[in-house]
Chains A and B, each alone.
Chain A
Amino acid sequence: MDIKNSKENILNTAEKLRWEVGEDFHDNVMETIYTDAARIADIVVIKDNKKAFHLDRFIDRLVTSKWTGFPIMFLLLALVFWLTVIGANYPSGLLANIFVDFLYPVIRQYAVSFGTPLWITGLLIDGGYLALAWVVSVMLPPMAIFFPMFTILEDFGYLPRVSFNMDSLYRKVGAHGKQALTMSMGFGCNAAGVIAARVIDSPREKLIAIITNNFSLCNGRWPTQILIATIFVGTLVPAEYSGLLSASAVIFVALLGIGLSLLVSLFLSRTMLKGEPSAFSLELPPYRPPKILQTLYTSLVDRTLFVLWRAMVFAFPAGMVIWLVSNINVGNNTVAEIFIDWADPFGLFIGLNGVILLAYIIAIPANEIVIPTILMLTIMVTGIHNVGEGSGVLFELSDVNETANILKAGGWTALTGINLMLFSLMHNPCSTTIYTIYKETKSLKWTLVSTILPIAMGLTVCFFIAQIWRLLE
């Protein structure tokens, strides 16, 4: 028989058979494999977990019931946040004492005693080192407390139940119930929240969770909110109510962030991310006693140190930039002053000011150093002499009233304060988070969207609030 002909015959027959076999056969093969695997498993695997199973189902009833589900969730999350805020104060102070108050002058003097040129000590020690020390001492303690607690809840098996309960809400905005977790994680640190979005295995919902994570007010922004609320919102009412009002203002901003993350999720799922592949699945693993040591290790190494390292990598060069812009003179003024002068009209127009705009640009590695940068720059432009450590050197004041005086000398009003609180919620993520988003999505497009979307929203909101404020004034 002719070989060429028979080859063609075979191919033609195969082509004909393709139609006859139909499209179901892939599924059928797959289903058969699974069925066989299940059959074999049933024969050889012996199950004996009746007792654990009872407890499991009892806890499940408890945490998903109409009456106890939400209260338990709120109490647990509130406890985690409360412990983080309270618990982080002391170690933060300690680290600041060591790195900033003690080591910084020592290193500086040591360098000076060797006759190191002033600009080198300024660039490396006043700039790079100080920013690094600042980021470590403010960032490390809350993360080292928050992440292990969160991981323990996760390990215990409770967090998947939170996703389960919250899914109906997130489904309505086109997102995944697990976004409730990445969002909560974002309250600790947005970069960690973005990494946590790995647990969402559906591409569209994962992107939504990553892009909206920035609307969770992170650890680095809470102190800013509290400080500014105390100075500018609390003073709007008589002293006895000021604490209550400023606390409510901060909580309002945090809740606004949650609202915005839902709104932006809805927007994204209807527009930019419409059509991205999407699939839902959520496993509810059995409850088990958390492995404390392993949890501590993974949460400290994988989450805390990982994120901290990224932040440090960005903090050092950014610290140098902060020092440089406040120390390089062009004509009679520093680069920072020239920029502030130039940006001031626009800044004031949208109810902020040039100092704030510059601070948000150069303090990009971490939200923690925004307030120190603002203070340093304000001192520089107002020419106040008796506070601070010199141009380009970050500092913070323990006394709220002193801080208030500096800011007011810088021309701040209640409008500036309120707009700063909103801008702090809605601005580009810190460079650590931006880098993490790029690493996680491997896409320049989504990295840009997550960076530009919030800042566009922030500028717009500040603009409208400023105009309406002036109209009412």
Chain B
Amino acid sequence: MNESMQALIIGLSALVAMFLLIWPKGGILGLFKRITRDKKRELIEDSLKYIYNCEYNKNCLCVDELKNNLSISSDKVKNLLHSLEETDLIKTENSKYSLTSEGRSYALRIIRIHRLLERHFADQTSYKDTEWHDKAENAEHSVSFEEANRLAAKMGNPIFDPHGDPIPNEKGQIPLIEGKSLKDISAGIIVKIIHIEDEPTNIYSQLVALGISPGMQITITEKSDKRIKFIANNDECVIAPAFAENITVAELNETEQDYTGFSLLADLKPGYLATVRSISKACRGQQRRRLLDFGIVPGTKIYSDLESLGGDPAAYIVRGTKVALRKKQAREIYISDIEKEDLNG
């Protein structure tokens, strides 16, 4: 009896040890991976990226913010900037730091890799939107420029990352985004989200939690110093003006259809017929193609036929075919012209 007790305790501790070893985040294996990374190169690359972004957004480089962004001490930041200068990646003029042309092209290479990776995680994997940035941040230092180019070719040379940032091309060319911060838009105008800043992560994840994504059309309904109310996907969202700064929008051009008045397929009750208007940009990759394969394209009539036992998924009739879609997907399809229809009548 004593022996079994001992064995039991040893067995339990072995289980706990295994758990500690392989637990993805705090696990010992994960720790080992983190320790063995090339810290120095990563710091250089991350700081170049940061300085580049400051220049792109026409902000000045603030050493304190760089320190926070890289989460290292002030001494280390000084050393880092010093060594960047020595290697001719940055230069100082009037005690202001700016990238040399070499530094800029290095930064653009890293940014290209980062944004291509984000695009890849968004379109070709099932990671959630809040994970794309961190995943790319971890992988960008170990992916070579050539590998990234091959990835780009495979994805059809995308030009924007999933947050709406342009991806520099192979030569390092990148256009300036023309858009306004959501903060500067007055109420009543329909605008299109073209970019959601993915840093800092806590603000980004709150924005994602509202269900907004680049490509979505929104209308501000109420604006004050304390909060901004807007309609997105028929839902009312309320955010602080500070958050609105992280959303860049543009007005619709003449070829774009305004679909703020459309409903979502998920809200179509059984027994009702509607017309498909558009598939949200948030529906990507394989999933998007699948919907197109079923013939769910603008103009298609779609009939909500039945719900499964749990209510999700639900079955729709599209072009004479019965197709089951989960709620999550049905929320990404815009419809209009809803009418009751009795198919048996």
Spell out A's residues near B (CB within 8 Å).
15, 18-19, 22-23, 26-27, 30-31, 34-35, 38, 41, 47, 49, 53-54, 57, 60-61, 64, 66, 69-70, 164-165, 167-169, 171, 177, 202, 204, 271, 274-286, 349, 460, 463-464, 466-468, 470-471, 473
- How would residues 175 to 204 of chain B score, 1 for a CB under 8 Å from any chain A CB and 0 otherwise? 100000000000000000000000000000
Provide 20 A-B residue pairs closer than 8 Å at the C-beta atoms, listed in order of the A residue.
A19-B166, A23-B158, A26-B156, A30-B292, A34-B295, A34-B297, A60-B315, A64-B306, A64-B309, A164-B324, A167-B310, A168-B308, A276-B125, A276-B126, A279-B285, A280-B326, A282-B313, A282-B323, A283-B323, A467-B8
In the complex, are the beta carbons of B175 and A35 less than 8 A apart?
A: no
Contacts of B320 in A (CB 8 A): 47, 49
User: For the complex, is B305 an interface residue (Cβ under 8 Å from A)?
Assistant: yes
Residues of A within 8 A of B344 (CB): 54, 57
B11 in the interface, Cβ–Cβ < 8 Å?
A: yes
Known: A19-B175, A22-B159, A349-B7. 19 other contacts (CB 8 A): A15-B169, A18-B157, A19-B166, A26-B156, A31-B297, A35-B298, A49-B320, A53-B343, A60-B306, A60-B322, A64-B307, A202-B286, A274-B126, A275-B125, A276-B126, A279-B287, A284-B324, A470-B1, A470-B4
Complex interface: chain A residues within 8 A of B298 (CB): 31, 35
* CB nearest neighbor in B for A65: B309
Of A204, A271, A277, A285, most B-chain CB atoms within 10 Å: A277
Q: Which of B4, B15, B127, B324 meets A471, CB within 8 Å?
A: B4
Contact B322 A283 (CB under 8 A): yes
- Distance in Å: Cβ of B45 to nearest Cβ of chain A: 23
Q: With the chains together, A185 CA to B315 CA distance in Å?
A: 24
Residues of chain A contacted by B166 (CB below 8 angstroms): 19
Residue B5 at the A interface, CB < 8 A?
A: yes
Contact A61 B297 (CB under 8 A): no
Among residues of A, the one whose C-beta sits closest to the C-beta of B159 is A23
Min C-beta distance of A228 to chain B, whole Å: 23
- Report the separation of the CA atoms of residues A271 and B18 in the bound assembly, to the nearest whole angstrom: 15
Asked if B30 is at the interface (CB within 8 A of a chain A CB), the reply is: no
Q: Is B121 in contact with A275, judged by CB distance below 8 angstroms?
A: yes
Is the Cβ of A35 less than 8 Å from the Cβ of B297?
Answer: yes
B105 to chain A, nearest CB (A): 16
Which chain A residue has the least Cβ–Cβ distance from B312?
A168
For the complex, what is the distance from the CA of A26 to the CA of B288, rounded to whole Å?
A: 12
CA distance A286 to B121 in the complex (A): 36
Contact partner of B11 (CB less than 8 A), chosen from A54, A202, A463, is A463
Q: CB distance B299 to A167 under 8 Å?
A: no
The closest CB in chain A to the CB of B296 belongs to A34
Residues of B close to A282: CB separation below 8 A:
313, 323-324
> Is the pair B322, A284 in contact by a Cβ cutoff of 8 Å?
yes
Question: How far does the Cβ of B169 sit from chain A's closest Cβ, in whole Å?
Answer: 7
* Contact in complex: A281, B310 (CB < 8 Å): no
Taking CB atoms, residues of chain B closer than 8 Å to A69 are 309
Which of B127, B159, B309 neighbours the largest number of chain A CB atoms within 10 Å of its CB?
B309
B297 and A277 contact, CB distance less than 8 A = no
Which of B126, B286, B325 is in CB contact (< 8 Å) with A275?
A: B126
Q: Are B300 and A38 in contact (CB under 8 A)?
A: yes
Interface residues of B in 289-335 (CB under 8 A from A): 290-295, 297-300, 305-313, 315, 319-326, 329
B173, CB-defined interface residue at 8 Å = yes
Give the Cβ gap from B161 to chain A, nearest Cβ, in Å. 10
- The residue that A164 contacts in the complex, of B7, B135, B315, with Cβ under 8 A, is B315
CB < 8 Å neighbour of A271 from B24, B295, B308, B324: B24
Contact between A279 and B286, CB atoms less than 8 A apart: yes
- Are B305 and A60 in touch, CB under 8 angstroms? yes
Give the interface of B toward A (CB within 8 A).
1, 3-5, 7-8, 11, 15, 24, 121, 124-127, 135, 156-160, 166, 169, 173, 175, 285-288, 290-295, 297-300, 305-313, 315, 319-326, 329, 343-344
Q: Which of B5, B24, B294, B295 contacts A281 (CB 8 A)?
A: B294
A229 CA to B308 CA in the complex, in Å? 38
Query: What residue in chain B is nearest A285 (Cβ atoms)?
Result: B322
CB distance from A345 to the nearest CB of B (A): 13
Contact A164/B321 with A277-B125, A277-B126, A467-B7 known, Cβ cut-off 8 Å: no
Q: Is the CB of B313 within 8 A of A168?
A: yes
A139 to B35, CA, bound (A): 53
Which residues of chain B are within 8 angstroms of A30 by Cβ–Cβ distance? 292
Complex alpha-carbon distance, A284 and B7, angstroms: 53
List A contacts of B11 (CB < 8 A). Answer: 460, 463-464, 467
CB < 8 Å neighbour of A165 from B24, B309, B329? B309
> Per a CB cutoff under 8 Å, which of A23, A165, A280, A471 touches B287?
A280
Closest to A45 in B: B320
Complex CA–CA separation, A264 to B157 (angstroms):
37
Indicate if the CB atoms of A464 and B8 lie closer than 8 Å: yes
CB distance from B80 to the nearest CB of A (A): 32
Flag if A286 contacts B322 (CB, 8 Å). yes
Q: Which residues of B contact A283 (CB under 8 A)?
A: 294, 321-324
Q: Lowest 9 A-B CB distances belong to which pairs?
A: A168-B310, A278-B126, A284-B322, A470-B4, A282-B324, A279-B286, A279-B287, A467-B8, A34-B297
Q: How far is the CB of B332 from chain A (nearest CB, A)?
A: 12
Shortest Cβ gap from A95 to chain B (Å): 41
Query: CA A166 – CA B306 in complex, angstroms?
Result: 14
Interface contact A277-B124, CB-CB below 8 Å = yes
Residues of chain A lying within 8 A (CB to CB) of residue B307: 64
- Please report the C-alpha to C-alpha distance between residue A334 and residue B211 in the assembled complex, in whole angstroms: 68
What CA separation (Å) do A164 and B310 show in the bound complex? 10
* Residues in B whose Cβ lies below 8 Å from that of A22: 159
Distance between B191 CB and nearest chain A CB, rounded to angstroms: 16
Contact between chains at A279 and B297 (CB < 8 Å): no
Closest chain-A Cβ to B44's Cβ sits at a distance in Å of 28
Residue from B125, B173, B312, B319 in contact with A171 in the complex, judged by beta carbons closer than 8 Å: B312
The answer for the CA separation of A466 and B7 in the assembled complex, in Å, is 10
User: Roughly how many angstroms separate A25 CA and B285 CA in the complex, as a whole number?
Assistant: 15
Q: Which residues of the other chain, A, contact B323 by a CB distance below 8 angstroms?
A: 281-284
Residue B4 contacts which of A18, A60, A169, A467 (CB distance < 8 angstroms)? Answer: A467
B302 to chain A, nearest CB (A): 12
Q: List the B side residues contacting A41 at CB < 8 Å.
A: 319
> Which B-chain residue is minimally distant from A61 (CB atoms)?
B306
Q: How far is the CB of A225 from chain B (nearest CB, A)?
A: 26
Q: Is the CB of A171 within 8 A of B326?
A: yes
CB distance from A204 to the nearest CB of B (A): 6
Cβ–Cβ < 8 Å partners of B310 in chain A: 167-169
> How far apart are the CA atoms of A83 and B134 in the complex, in Å?
54
What is the bound-complex CA distance between A464 and B5, given in angstroms?
10
Cβ of A59 to closest chain B Cβ, rounded Å: 11
A183 to B269, CA, bound (A): 32
Q: How far is the CA of A284 from the CA of B307 in the complex (A)?
A: 12
Residues in B whose Cβ lies below 8 Å from that of A53: 343
In the complex, the answer to whether B121 meets A57 with C-beta atoms within 8 Å is no
| Chain A residues near B311 (CB-CB < 8 A) | 168
Instruction: Tell me the minimal C-beta distance from B307 to chain A in angstroms.
Output: 8
Closest Cβ–Cβ distance, residue B126 to chain A (whole Å)? 4
Write the nearest CB–CB distance from B111 to chain A, whole angstroms. 16
* A276 contact set on B, CB distance < 8 A: 125-126
A49-B343 Cα distance, complex, nearest whole Å: 12
Q: Which residues of B contact A470 (CB under 8 A)?
A: 1, 3-4
Bound: A277/B126 CA distance, A: 5
